[in-house]
Chains A and B, each alone.
Chain A
Amino acid sequence: MADRKIRVLVAKPGLDGHDRGAKTIAAVLRDNGMEVIYTGLHQTPEMIAETALQEDVDVVGLSILSGAHMTLFPRVKAALEERGMGHVLLTGGGIISKEDMASLADVGFVKLFGPGTRTDDIAEWIQTAMEARWKNEEVSG
């Protein structure tokens, strides 16, 4: 890969209207050298998955504060898989309990971030995860 960048979709699913967190994360990821697509508020799982497909992103990060994550996150995952985008690295953040985090991990959201997370930790986690994936791709051709 001569000139590859990590492409991340930062999306706000559902009805909550608080996007300061999402915007902050988008800016932090940009400052860490990633190409971040931000789509604004009130996205349906289908819109998120369709955007991920058109933009060919490596990562989808969901931000949610409404408490509907147990419904919406698995739907995003399903909509992605419907479009052949099951390979995308999934993460997210918001007000999510430990128990919920554990069950969302089973759906594919292996790492979720709660309040108080250092923003650089998020960037670092994505960076590390993507580097590992790309290395794998090279090995397997």
Chain B
Amino acid sequence: MDASGEMAARLLSGDRAALARVISWAENADARYPAVLSAIYPRVGHAWRIGITGPPGAGKSTLTNELVATLRKRDETVGILAIDPSSPFSGGALLGDRIRMEERTADTGVFIRSMASRKSHGGLARAASDACDVMDAFGFSSILMETVGVGQSEYDVVAAADTVLVVLCPGAGDGIQAMKAGILEVADVLVVNKSDLPDADRLMMDLEDAVRMRTVRQEEGGWVVPVVACSARDETGIDDVIAAVDAHRSWQEAADLAGTRRAKRVAQVRRVVGERLEEELWGRLGNTDRAEALLGNSVTPYDVAEDILTSVLGSARDAAQADEV
């Protein structure tokens, strides 16, 4: 058996070291990874994937830790992917989400993996979907994915998760912040953490208003985003968060889970094609940037891009343009 086949067999037999190594291969774009994924792919699709996003300090890791505790009580096994930002300067990263999940380390029903975002900017790492697939095939019943949490535009998590929790806390901006594009569209469940703080009720009300305004325009039978209060530190309201996730799951299963997942798989293919294209393209093209001409202002970046596209796509491009006209 070759290295990939052997690793896939170990992973499927429940070897946690193999699980860890395959995630590394995915992360490093190792040549052995695609064959492992092929071997384990028939087992993918049973885990429910929960994305957890929200601004820094909202309590994502603490909440994740509590969600795991609750899921473990009903005998679920849980894989956790905790993503932290990479430095765009050094390429290094400090991954500290495990600190708040320390008590889970000894639990063999739980597997925690920290991942640096590397060059990705959508809140997840490039390999996040892959890591979820691998943990899914390993057999975890739930997978929790915690995003970087730096902005309002963490859309990648929507493509990778079945249910997205947006975690907010009082004191981090008014209701208008909550209504800005991004947060509501991303959320399947809105969680107000630190619900013991004085302004929590106000934030709940703002969010409920914002949801109502959106729901009015929505088709009948659509998912109405619930707003759930909890305090991860005090361990209150965690059951309500899980209940909201369960409700969203039931709704999706009754609606069109296959359709949603189909769209997500297609998105994954496009992402992989995009990455591979970029890598191969620049590898083959070499020096076509015409830097000197650009510097002399005799051509614009758009001119150069146009020439490159024409040279790469050639006749395929002409045909497509003819169709459009």
Q: Which residues of A contact B (CB under 8 A)?
A: 1-5, 7, 26-27, 29-40, 46-47, 50-51, 53-56, 83-85
Contacts and interface: CB of A to CB of B under 8 A. Distances in A.
A54 B102 contact: no
Contacts of B98: 37-40, 51
A53 to B, nearest CB: 6
Interface string B108-131: 000111101010000000000000
Nearest to A28: B92
Contact of B92 (A33, A51, A56, A83): A33
A48 B309 CA distance: 51
Nearest to B89: A31
Contacts of A56: 17, 20-21, 23-24
Given A53-B16, A53-B17, A56-B24, 18 more contacts: A2-B30, A3-B28, A3-B118, A7-B24, A32-B92, A33-B90, A35-B93, A36-B92, A36-B93, A37-B95, A38-B99, A40-B102, A47-B102, A47-B106, A53-B20, A55-B114, A56-B20, A84-B17
Contact of A26 (B94, B105, B106, B114): B94
Given A2-B30, A3-B29, A37-B98, A31 B17 contact: no
B106 A4 contact: no
A36 B97 CA distance: 11
A26 B111 CA distance: 23
Contacts of B86: 35
A138 to B, nearest CB: 12
A34 B92 contact: yes
Interface residues of B, number: 31
7 smallest beta-carbon distances between A and B, as pairs: A30-B92, A2-B29, A56-B20, A40-B99, A33-B91, A56-B24, A33-B92
Contacts, number: 87
Contacts of A34: 92
A47 B98 CA distance: 11
Contacts of A83: 17
A54 B21 CA distance: 9
A55 B116 CA distance: 11
B96 interface: yes
A50 B103 CA distance: 12
B308 to A, nearest CB: 23
B90 A50 contact: no
Contacts of A3: 27-29, 118
B215 interface: no
Contacts of A30: 87, 90, 92-94
Contact of B113 (A1, A29, A50, A54): A54
Contact of A32 (B20, B29, B90, B114): B90
A32 B179 CA distance: 40
B20 A39 contact: no
24 contacts: A1-B28, A2-B279, A3-B28, A4-B28, A5-B28, A5-B118, A30-B87, A30-B94, A32-B90, A32-B92, A34-B92, A36-B95, A38-B95, A38-B99, A39-B102, A40-B102, A46-B106, A50-B105, A51-B105, A53-B16, A54-B112, A55-B20, A56-B21, A56-B24
B17 A55 contact: no
A6 B276 CA distance: 23
A79 to B, nearest CB: 12
A37 B91 contact: no
